Amino acid sequence: MERLEQNRTYTGTVEGYSSEGLGIVKLSGAVVFVPRVLRGEVIDLKITKVMKNAAVGEAVKVRQASPERAKPECPHFGVCGGCDLQHMSYQEELWAKRRRVQDALTRLGGADVEVEEILGAKDPLHYRNKSQYPVGADGTVGFYRERSHQVVGVDRCLIQTEQSDATAGAVRDWMRRYKVPAYDERTGKGLVRHVYVRTNRKGETLCCLLVNGRQVPREPELVAYVRAAAPRTVGVVLGTNTARGNVILGDRYRTLWGEDHLMDTLCGLSFKLSVPSFYQVNRDQAEVLYRKALEFAGLTGEETVLDLYCGAGTITLCMAGQAKRVIGAEIVPAAIRDAEENAARNRIENAEFFCGDAADVAAKLEREGLRPDVITVDPPRKGLAPEVIASVAGMAPDRVVYVSCDPATLGRDVKRFAQLGYQAVRAAAVDLFPATKHVETVVLLSRLNCNSAT
């Protein structure tokens, strides 16, 4: 078998995509990952890195282009690391994401379940209702360069809202005008780290400036700049984050002007969102996702539902209308306060919330003898800890509805659930993140030998 040589050019056909959206070409028994190429294309590629059983390459010529190849609309594509898939049509993107989820469930999860569908977005542009702009040490405001923490200046992003871009630009101008120092990751010195903006259905915004300290100079002027750029701003908040590392949000917040939260509507319910509250970044597609989760839950009005990682209570309260009792758990105190207020605001009386780590809350409820009919989980990208899965299985619900933002950790957890008697019986993908490699999945896990399983 011929060994691939670095810097040598080969010709090959793209057979599919990796989990990162890279094209896969097989040469001399090795898999070569090539960015920004499409399934079915014949390409000339130069090997840039050789590993034991794989290699990395770059396309130097597309000999036979795919009809699904698209011209990226964003001038920063390929430099900014925010979007991965603007070089392909949206239909091809959906195909790739559905295939990725199916591969994860089958190959990593060992599950004999078909991804029934992928539900795409009606509008794949300007969908993000939460924007987080890193600030470079030189004051550049934008997004990280691909695979680095170098900030690329971006004035206009096709997946952020116009109000968010305008707010980020206003902070940049304020920093320049008053010589406010940016934070330097290498030294831990400086002030401004991130510009954070939430936008609601009405087009109102909440701005939070994350800084390495408890105050910034010229705070009234900061408020004035933000309000002038985004007149529908409802509040400007200062967040303190003095920790080294890449965590964005801080541990304390101070309102400089207006409100410290934003109101929004989702699935016909009203939600209060403080800065640290988890809330899906694509509102319209979140409604699609939650409708699918409700369908999989199979509620009749008589069930008790436990929702782990409940955030501001979105899934919990959506389930409340079709269940007898719902219980939400979340580790962020501010999110739990929002969830409780959201329940009261929507006059939902069959919901209760606990603040704590999912593993601790699940273990506590299991010890107390709680036997929910349905458990829903919507964990962060790292998925579920083994002890959470054990506690969930220990409560013996008829059904577990797993909402996941990472197919790989989903596949791993589906396999762990299978070892404890829960089989994946339905799966669907929902695209909440057009133009990026990310995708949401809903999986229904049914307890084996349970007559009520669907």
User: With 0-12 CB in 10 A as exposed, 13-18 as middle and 19+ as buried, what is 353?
Assistant: buried
Q: CA 235 to CA 255: how far, in whole Å?
A: 7
State the catalytic residue, choosing from 207, 208, 310, 405: 405
**Pairing between strand 252-258 and 261-266?**
unpaired
204 Cβ contact partners less than 8 Å away, ≥ 6 residues apart:
232, 233, 234, 262, 263
Please state the three-class secondary structure of 178-197 as a single string: HCCCECECCCCECCEEEEEE
From the list 255, 174, 179, 258, the residue with the least C-alpha distance to 215 is 255
Q: Using alpha carbons only, give the angle 427, 428, 429 rounded to the nearest 5 degrees.
A: 135
User: With 0-12 CB in 10 A as exposed, 13-18 as middle and 19+ as buried, what is 357?
Assistant: middle
In 261-398 the beta strands, taken as DSSP E runs, fall at 261-266, 269-274, 304-308, 325-330, 351-355, 374-377
Q: How many CB atoms lie within 10 A of CB 387?
A: 14
Residue 74 falls in the annotated catalytic set: no
For tokens 């902070």, the residue is 171
Q: CA 452 to CA 454: how far, in whole Å?
A: 6
Positive or negative: CA dihedral 120, 65, 102, 441: negative
Just list the catalytic residues: 405
